Amino acid sequence: MPIVLASATLISTGLGGMAALRFRDRLHLLLGFSAGAVMAVALFDILPEVFALDGGSSYMPFAAAGFLAFFGLERYTALHRSREHVHTATAHEQELGTLSAAGLTFHSFLDGVWLAADMIAPVLGAATALVINLDGLLPWLLAFFAGSFLYIGASDLLPEAREHDSPWVGVATAMGMSAIYLATEVLRRF
């Protein structure tokens, strides 16, 4: 069953990635929806699981550790330095036709590679979890990833979405949160 569920994430990740590539002009709305969904997974799915475990609140420092780990990773590596908005401070240089086209083609190729790697990762993770017993680590891992999801949603996805001054970003974020909330409520009944 874990492989089947992971395969569903493979498909949904692929569809989401293709939507991002196809609707680049509305990427801010997709990012807003994604920010809401990622934060909602932490708030409505992962953290309730952690609190349902025996001693749930004692795992909360690991949620903070997850948040701070991603903060540190982003702060002390070049993970997102390309978003420093150089174009707002300097004028665009003249484009170089063929070279620019080649660069765009290579960039699109890398988008596909990253998307493929992102799609297969949940399946590989589920297969690994079948081999390795993670029961003792599960509460710690859940708390850590809840913190990291909150960081990614709030500090990466949402600010990127907000770069477009559109009131629809807030609507998309609320829709992402609502979709995950409703999904978790429906799944809890089964």
On whether residue 104 sits in a domain, the answer given is yes
What's the structural domain count of the chain?
1
> What is residue 175's predicted lDDT score, i.e. its pLDDT?
97
On whether residue 89 sits in a domain, the answer given is no
Which amino acid makes up residue 150?
Answer: L
Per-residue H/E/C for 21-44:
HHCHHHHHHHHHHHHHHHHHHHHH
Give 155's DSSP letter. Answer: I
Separation of CA 49 from chain center: 19
The model's pLDDT over 144-181, given as tens digits with 9 standing for 90+, comes to 999 999 999 999 888 888 887 788 999 999 999 999 99
On whether residue 91 sits in a domain, the answer given is no
For the chain, which residues score pLDDT lower than 70?
A: 78-108, 110-111
> What is residue 145's predicted lDDT score, i.e. its pLDDT?
93
First to last CA, the chain: 15
On whether residue 120 sits in a domain, the answer given is yes
In angstroms, the CA 11 to CA 184 distance is 19
> What is residue 2's predicted lDDT score, i.e. its pLDDT?
74
Supply the range of the domain harboring residue 63.
Answer: 2-84+96-188
On whether residue 61 sits in a domain, the answer given is yes
| The token pair that represents 109 in the structure block | 């190729």
On whether residue 90 sits in a domain, the answer given is no
On whether residue 182 sits in a domain, the answer given is yes
- Among 139, 160, 132, 178, smallest CA distance to 24 is for 160
> What is residue 81's predicted lDDT score, i.e. its pLDDT?
53
Give 95's DSSP letter. Answer: P
